[in-house]
Amino acid sequence: MTIVIAFHASGYRTFKEFYTLQVLPHWKSAFPQLVSYNRFVELMPWSMMLLCCFLHTRKGEITGISFIDSTPIEVCHPCRSKSHRVFEGLVGKRIYLY
């Protein structure tokens, strides 16, 4: 789970590049039983399941209070209202997503 999370924060474009260039050469001491890239890819579905189980245990108590982002999103700029047919009738109005 740690390696998968670190990949998403790393800035590498592909997981293979991250694993072969960062994890295998530099993280061997942190993970003494480190497996090959191919084997790790085979094990990744288990890590995702375990990560979901872990996050499920970290949920707080449900209180009935929810926070909703009510930031207005403009559909398009009013100067393009005549050429924009997808949202015809909605241009210039603010739409709130809940």
Residues 53 and 83 in one domain: no
- 22 belongs to a structural domain: yes
pLDDT surpassing 80 at residue 34: yes
- Residue bearing tokens 């700029």: 77
CA distances from 13 to 7, 8, 10, 42, 45 (A): 9, 9, 9, 20, 20
Residues 49 and 79 in one domain: no
Total residue count of the chain as it appears in this document: 98
- 63 belongs to a structural domain: no
Residues 73 and 29 in one domain: no
pLDDT surpassing 60 at residue 15: yes
pLDDT surpassing 80 at residue 39: yes
String of b and e for 47-75 (b: at least 16 CB within 10 Å)?
Answer: eeeeeeeeeeeeeeeeeeeeeeeeeeeeb
- Confidence (pTM): 0.54
In tens, the pLDDT along 56-96 reads: 888 878 788 777 777 766 666 667 666 656 656 665 555 55
Q: Which domain holds residue 50?
A: 2-57
